[in-house]
Structure 1
Amino acid sequence: MFAFRPAAPLFSALFLGLALAAPAVADPVHQGDLTLSDAYMRAMPPHAPVAGAYVTIANAGSAPDRLISASSPRAGQVRIDEMIMQGEVMKMRALPDGLPIPAGETVTLQPGGYHLMFLEVPQSFTEGDTVEATLVFERAGRVTLPFEVRARAATSAGHGAETGHSGH
C-alpha cells in the first residue's frame, strides 16, 4: 500500500537553506551621533589592485563630525576620495582633510561621488565576501564595520546598473 507524506518538511528545509544562503544586508552601526548603513563594495575584476567602498553616514547630532581616516586589514591603504567633473572629464581625487558630516544631515558615499578607495589589495574581493574596515571620525571616534561585497554592477541596496567608474 502506498502512503502519501506531505512535502512540507522538505519545502521548509529548502526555504530555510535558501534564506541562510542569501546575502544579508548588515544592520546599521551606531557610533555616537552617527549611524552607518548600507556598507558595501563591488566585486573586483581578477588581479585588480584597488576597490571602491560605499556607505551612508547619518549625523543625528547637533554638532558636525568629519570622517578623517579609514583602514582595513585587507588593504595596504584605504583613502577617502571623491569623483569630480573637470570640464567634461571625471577625475578622482583624495580628500586629505577628510569628509565633513554636517550636523543633522546624511552623507552618502556612492559610485560617482564620495567613496573609500581600498589600495594595495593583495587578494581580490569577490561577491559574497565581507571586508571589515575601521573608519575614524573626529568626534564619534573609531568604528569597525563590515562591507558586503556585491556583484560588480551593484549599486546601493544591491540593485541596479553600474554607475560611475567600473573599476570600483
Structure 2
Amino acid sequence: MLKHILLLAALLLPGAFANAHEYTKGDLHIAHPWSLELPPNAPNVAAYFVVHNNGTQDDRLLGVDSPISDDAQLHEHITTEAGLMKMRQVQNVAVPAGRDLTFAPSAWHVMLMQPKDRSLLSDGQRFPMTLHFEKAGDITVNVVVQKQPLTQDPHQAHTH
C-alpha cells in the first residue's frame, strides 16, 4: 500500500509544481510572473507579477532588468485630467509592509522595450527577469509567456 501511495505522489508532484512558479527572498514573495505573447507588430512587451511584503518594513522596487531587452522600465497607468488613461515611466515603486503590490494590465507593470529575441515571447516560453529591491536585494524570476491574460489568479486575490 505504501508503495502505491509513493508512486501516486511521484506522479502527481511534478504537476503540482508545473504551474507554481513563486519566489521568496527575505520578507518578499513574488507570485506568478507572466507576460502576454508578443503580437507580430508590437515593439514592446509588458510583464506582470504580485509582490507580497510579509515583513514589518517597507521595501522599494528600484528597477528591473532582463537579458531579452537592453531597456526594462517600471511603468504605471494614470488617468489624466482629461480622463484619459496614460502610461508613464517611474523610477521606483514602494512595496508597503504587510501589503501586496500587484503588477497587472492597466496598473503597475514592467515594460521590456525592443526585445532582442522575439521567439522567447511566444506562448509557453519563459525568460528571466531580475527585480532589484532596496532591502531584499535582487530576485531573479522566470516570466511565463501566455496567449491569454490570467483570469483571477489566486495569488492576486491574496490579501493581508
Name the TM-score, length of structure 1 as normaliser.
0.76
* Counterpart among 147, 154, 163 of residue 143 in structure 2: 147
Q: Give the aligned partner of residue 74 of structure 2.
A: 80
Name the Cα RMSD after superposition. 1.9
AA paired with 2:141? L
The answer to whether structure 1 residue 42 and structure 2 residue 42 are counterparts is: no
Aligned partners of 1:134, 1:26: CA distance in 2, in Å?
18
Aligned partners of 2:48, 2:18: CA distance in 1, in Å?
16
Name the TM-score, length of structure 2 as normaliser.
0.79
String of CA shifts for 1:90-119, please: whole Å, max 9, x gaps: 1000111x0100000001100000000001
AA paired with 1:88? G
Counting only pairs closer than 5 Å after superposition, residues 13-162 of structure 1 correspond to structure 2 as 24-86=18-80, 87-96=82-91, 98-124=92-118, 125-151=121-147, 153-155=148-150
- How many Å apart are 1:155 and its aligned residue? 2.5
Aligned partners of 1:123, 1:156: CA distance in 2, in Å?
27
Q: Which runs of 4+ in 1 moved over 2 A?
A: 23-27, 155-158
Gaps in structure 1 of 5+ consecutive residues:
1-15, 159-168
SS at match of 2:117: coil
SS at match of 1:74: coil
* Cα pair 1:132 1:144 within 8 Å, conserved: yes
SS at match of 2:18: coil
String of CA shifts for 1:36-82, please: whole Å, max 9, x gaps: 00110000111422000000000011100000010000111111100
AA paired with 2:73? R
Gaps in structure 2 of 5+ consecutive residues:
1-10, 154-160
String of CA shifts for 1:113-163, please: whole Å, max 9, x gaps: 000000121232111110110000000000100010001x313567xxxxx
Aligned partners of 1:44, 1:72: CA distance in 2, in Å?
16
- How many Å apart are 1:31 and its aligned residue? 0.9
Identical pairs, percent: 30
Q: How many positions carry a matched residue from both structures?
A: 137
SS at match of 2:68: coil
